[in-house]
Amino acid sequence: MIGRLLAQRYRLEEKVGAGGMAEVYKATDTLLGRTVAVKILRSQYASDAEFVRRFRREARAAASLTHPNVVNVYDVGSDGDVHYIVMEYVEGITLKELIRKTAPLPPAAAALIAREVAEALGHAHRRGLVHRDIKPHNILLTADGRVKVTDFGIARAAASATLTETGIVLGSVHYFSPEQARGEPAVAVSDIYSLGVILYEMVTGRLPFTGESPVAVALQHIQQEPTPVRYWNHRVPRGLEQIIERCLAKDPGRRYHDAGELLADLEPLAEGATLTELIEACREGQDLDQKEAANGRGEDGPQATRRYEGDEELWTAPGQSEVAGDGQETLEAPPAGRRRRLGIGVAILVGLAALVAFGSQFVWPQLFPARVRVPDVVGLTREDAQRVLQERRLRLGVDDVEVYSNEYPAGTVISQDPPANTPVRENRTVWVRLSKGPEMVEVPDVIGMTRRQAEAYLAENGLKGEVRGYQFSDRIPQEAVVEQAPAAGGFLQRGATVDLIISQGPPPPAQLTVPDVRGKTLDEARTLLEGQGLKAGNVWTDFRPELPDGVVIEQTPPPEEQVEAGSSVDLVVNQLGGESPPPSSDASPGWGAIYP
């Protein structure tokens, strides 16, 4: 792999780590000219299309996290049959290395590390992501004392498969929560329990639970209380011991409800602490060990292979290389030259024979279960989905994030992974996501907004606006919303429509019929017009000897014409009085005096 250019972009420079699921390479992003870490899925998992699909989906979810205490995921992709994740390259050591070299850590330093990890967990939990595999091997420490958590989402990709399908690394059982040990889905407080185990290990130099097998350790997580921290290290403040005890509560409801609550308690204990000296001392110790190993001067002589045992035993599934977890160092088997007493050897052989007999009847079906097809549980309630899956000898896993749906009622399954009819092995976990039902949003007030403003504001609130009509309004300007239905303060399903009525501005003046005022005196005409909502306009005189004196003989507009209220009607009044008649009866009015 060294020297290979993935996706015509990432050049692999050197192998820097290996774990149960993947190998990690230091690489160069040739497009952006930066150093990155590339995690490449092992071939036995890359051939499982369903596993790869889940692996890519969870990696993309992890890529949504942006936080100083989270190792950033830059890219997820494939090149031929090579599937990879591109991550931020962090120069430093793992917390596991620090514990091996310097534990027990100063309580303040341990509280500081836990605080930084809790910051990362809080950021992820608020976005619906649970890590599920918090352990010291997944916590990186830089030379300048920064703490970063890696592998968000990757544990979820492996959690749905059986032991033989994924080669699950059993070393992580030391950090499992009781609910994970029982085979139940991990939730946010499961990560808090795992962080409690890490805190315990940092301040005591030992794990709270150890045993001769993974099952033995898992049962202790479920059934036993750990030895009090201050029994091993009396310098641990009582306040920090109480924090650890609360994190390690068997009942999830008795733990810290969220990472923010844990942060508040850790803050005063971490005040003034630094990590740089501890990390520097650890790195110097590493260099010394490497020199001694090169010169054949390890503590056990030339044949010694350095292992960290402490209180942590490491196990592997049959046929797997001995690894403690993704990102952990590969460990060699202990020297074969150790002598065993004959009696002990015989006892072991007898025990192995009994174990084989027992395993052929009980264990083998668990390691190599039969294949079944995943039933369709979309649309079922959680209880019905669990019953249907159990009938096929499958497990139900419920996603931490519920989603709104207009199609599926609250509490029913909206999606499942793997999909229906996918062939899988028995005991596989089928992950489902539950509906929260339709999302209801409050209707905002858009009265007085322009049509475009109202539609945009409704869209921001998850609604649509649709014009249903127009009406005149004295109080709302033209083209603005004068009415809405439903009214502001009500609730609608997200995506529903709010009906809008748009203002046409003030209504036009009323149309009135001009009365006939001809033959009436000027005063009578004025009175009649005012009574109809009109008024007399210009008044001229004319000479018509054949008509009575002093009466209106013409009007403009003429009778029966429609005019706006308040309009003026011009009048011509007949004036005899012995004056000379106009030169022509066809002349325009206005020759005579205009009445005031």
> DSSP of 125-188, one letter per residue?
HHTT---S---GGGEEEETTS-EEE--TTHHHHHHTS-HHHHT--GGGGGG--HHHHTTPPP-H
What are the two backbone dihedrals, phi and then psi, of residue 537, each rounded to the nearest 5 degrees? -100, -125
Give the pLDDT score at 286.
53
Query: Within 13 A of 226's CA, how many CA atoms are on the CB side?
Result: 33
- Which amino acid, 511? Q
- Which amino acid, 541? T
Q: The pTM is what?
A: 0.54
What sign for the dihedral angle of Cα 363, 367, 373, 376? Answer: positive
Give the pLDDT score at 322.
33
Q: Domain 440-503 - what CATH class?
A: alpha beta
Domain map (residue ranges) of the chain: 1-89, 91-318, 346-429, 440-503, 511-574
Q: Are 25 and 1 in contact (CB under 8 A)?
A: yes
For 450, residues 6+ apart whose C-beta sits below 8 A from its C-beta are 479, 480, 481
Give the pLDDT score at 277.
86
Q: Are 256 and 118 in contact (CB under 8 A)?
A: no
Give the pLDDT score at 291.
41
- 144 is a catalytic site residue: no
Angle at 155 between CA 153 and CA 157, to 5 degrees: 75
Q: Are 410 and 437 in contact (CB under 8 A)?
A: yes
Query: 91-318 — its CATH code?
Result: 1.10.510.10
Give the pLDDT score at 510.
79
Topology match between the domains 346-429 and 511-574: yes
Give the pLDDT score at 439.
87
Give the pLDDT score at 231.
94
**What's the CA gap between 516 and 317, in Å, rounded?**
111
Give the pLDDT score at 53.
80
pLDDT digits (tens, 9 = 90+) for 473-487: 999 999 999 999 999
User: Residue 3, exposed/middle/buried by CB under 10 A (0-12, 13-18, 19+)?
Assistant: exposed
Q: Tell me, which fold does domain 511-574 have in CATH?
A: Trypsin Inhibitor V; Chain A (3.30.10)
**What's the CA gap between 459 and 495, in Å, rounded?**
8
User: SS3 for 311?
Assistant: coil
Containing 440, the helix (H) or strand (E) segment is: strand 440-442
Give the pLDDT score at 403.
82
Give the pLDDT score at 292.
40
pLDDT digits (tens, 9 = 90+) for 364-399: 444 456 789 999 999 999 999 999 999 999 999 887
The gap from C-alpha 315 to its chain's centroid, in whole angstroms, comes to 35
Give the pLDDT score at 153.
65
- Which amino acid, 332? E
Q: Are 398 and 436 in contact (CB under 8 A)?
A: no
Containing 93, the helix (H) or strand (E) segment is: strand 92-94
Q: Tell me, which fold does domain 346-429 have in CATH?
A: Trypsin Inhibitor V; Chain A (3.30.10)
Q: In what order do the strands lie in the sheet with 413-417?
A: 395-398, 429-434, 413-417
Selected catalytic residue, list 48, 81, 133, 287: 133
Query: 1-89 — its CATH code?
Result: 3.30.200.20
- Those residues of the chain that have pLDDT short of 70 are 20, 153-171, 284-369, 578-596
**What's the CA gap between 84 and 6, in Å, rounded?**
9
Q: Are 88 and 140 in contact (CB under 8 A)?
A: no
What are the two backbone dihedrals, phi and then psi, of residue 85, each rounded to the nearest 5 degrees? -125, 135
